[in-house]
């Protein structure tokens, strides 16, 4: 069930659109920010609020890279794998992160600290290779810099 504050945030988002379903992505992001991911129950709650079917909403939720339909770790590392970063060695950065946190792409480290995901070009190509941890973007990430970057994400 949606909490009172969750419902209020959704009500605010809906005012930006002429009909409720316009806020579908906003709603998924708002609730995910609070709950970490979108479970089947959560999906149903949001769909009911938007007055659309859960299947309809799932066709939107599963379309996007940043909506999580599975639980994620306390933090998420998005490793850019597009071409400017690839030229500058993003594969080695990805290997380093996977090795350090014992998590393959799409998986979470055993201690629940970090989920590792590939991501399309982050738009920081002049500082390639780029990695985004949660909402923070780091540029010129060399494999040996990964551990110190990760220190604040416990």
- Closest CA relative to residue 79, chosen from 136, 125, 117: 117
Distance of CA 139 to the CA centre of its chain: 18
26 vs 113, beta carbon nearer another protein: 26
42 vs 82, beta carbon nearer another protein: 82
Q: How near is the Cβ of 110 to another protein at its closest, in Å?
A: 27
Encoding tokens for residue 136?
Answer: 């923070």
Q: Is-contact 117 70, C-beta < 8 A? A: no
C-alpha–C-alpha distance, residues 112 and 91, integer Å:
23
| Contact positions vs another protein (CB under 8 A) | 16-26, 28-29, 50, 52, 59-60, 63-67, 78, 81-84, 86-88, 119-128, 132, 135, 137
Pairing of strands 131-133, 114-119: unpaired
Q: Residue 3's CB: how many other CB atoms inside 10 A? A: 12
Contacts of 3 (CB under 8 A, 6+ apart): none
Q: How near is the Cβ of 98 to another protein at its closest, in Å?
A: 18
Q: How near is the Cβ of 111 to another protein at its closest, in Å?
A: 26
Q: How near is the Cβ of 85 to another protein at its closest, in Å?
A: 9
78 vs 101, beta carbon nearer another protein: 78
Q: How near is the Cβ of 26 to another protein at its closest, in Å?
A: 7
User: What does the DSSP 8-state code read for residue 80?
Assistant: E
4 vs 126, beta carbon nearer another protein: 126
112 vs 125, beta carbon nearer another protein: 125
């Amino acid at each position: 069930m949606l909490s009172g504050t969750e419902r209020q945030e959704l009500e605010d988002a809906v005012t930006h659109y002429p009909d409720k379903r316009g806020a579908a992505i906003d709603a998924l992001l708002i609730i995910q920010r609070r709950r970490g991911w979108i479970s089947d129950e959560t999906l149903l709650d949001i769909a009911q609020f938007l007055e659309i079917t859960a299947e309809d909403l799932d066709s939107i939720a599963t379309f996007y890279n940043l909506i999580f339909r599975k639980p994620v770790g306390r933090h998420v590392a998005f490793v850019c794998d597009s071409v400017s970063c690839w030229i500058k060695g993003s594969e080695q950065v990805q290997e380093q992160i996977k090795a350090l946190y014992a998590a393959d792409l799409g998986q979470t480290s055993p201690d629940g600290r970090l989920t590792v995901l590939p991501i399309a070009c982050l738009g920081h190509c002049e500082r390639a290779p780029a990695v985004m941890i949660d909402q923070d973007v780091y540029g010129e990430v060399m494999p040996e810099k990964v551990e110190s970057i990760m220190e604040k994400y416990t």
